[in-house]
Amino acid sequence: MKQYLFFLAVILFGYTPLMHAQIEKDSGYIVSIGDRVPDIRLKLIDGSEVNLSELRGKVVVLQFTASWCSVCRKEMPHLEKEVWLPNKDKDFILIGVDYDEPLEKVVAFKKQMKITYPMALDTGAEIFALFANKRSGVTRNVVIDKNGNIAFLTRLFDLKEFEAMKIKIADLLEEAD
């Protein structure tokens, strides 16, 4: 089945994005696929906190977003429907990391977007700055494998790249620990 999905994706989307995200040099990323993710403490909007190290053994997607970002708003329903809902009961977590906005605004944003995945605050965009230059655009996803290494990076909302990310997540979820 895995091979069938791979070949189907190659036919539909081309070979290159399946192997790795096509992140251009000017994308603003300061990390690369294969890099170890630091142990980041995320403060969720429900008041709880989680360290990334506590999520080892799960595939993690950090979705960097903001209420003022039109591309983020375009991508979020797809993340909810095509990534979060089909995988939330697996060894998987998707966390929206909101770029330097106050709690009240992020709570309202989540409600307005009708998403159910958890969201975290990123005061001062300090978490964002661990992955990308603060002056670069906020719409991006960092896929982290079960061992805590970056497995895939996206920038903006490109359908081919988004589909490749979904395939990568499925592959990571199938891998044995």
What domains lie within the chain, and their CATH numbers?
2-174 (3.40.30.10)
What's the whole-model pTM score? Answer: 0.85
* Residues 145 and 122: beta-carbon distance below 8 Å: no
For residue 26, name the pLDDT band (cuts at 50, 70, 90): low
Q: What is the pLDDT of residue 108?
A: 98
Whole-number Å distance between alpha carbons of 23 and 13? 16
Sign (positive or negative) of CA dihedral 77, 83, 86, 89: negative
Whole-number Å distance between alpha carbons of 155 and 141? 7
User: Is residue 5 predicted with pLDDT exceeding 50?
Assistant: no
Q: What is the pLDDT of residue 176?
A: 67
152 to each of 12, 140, 161, how far by Cα in Å?
Answer: 19, 11, 10
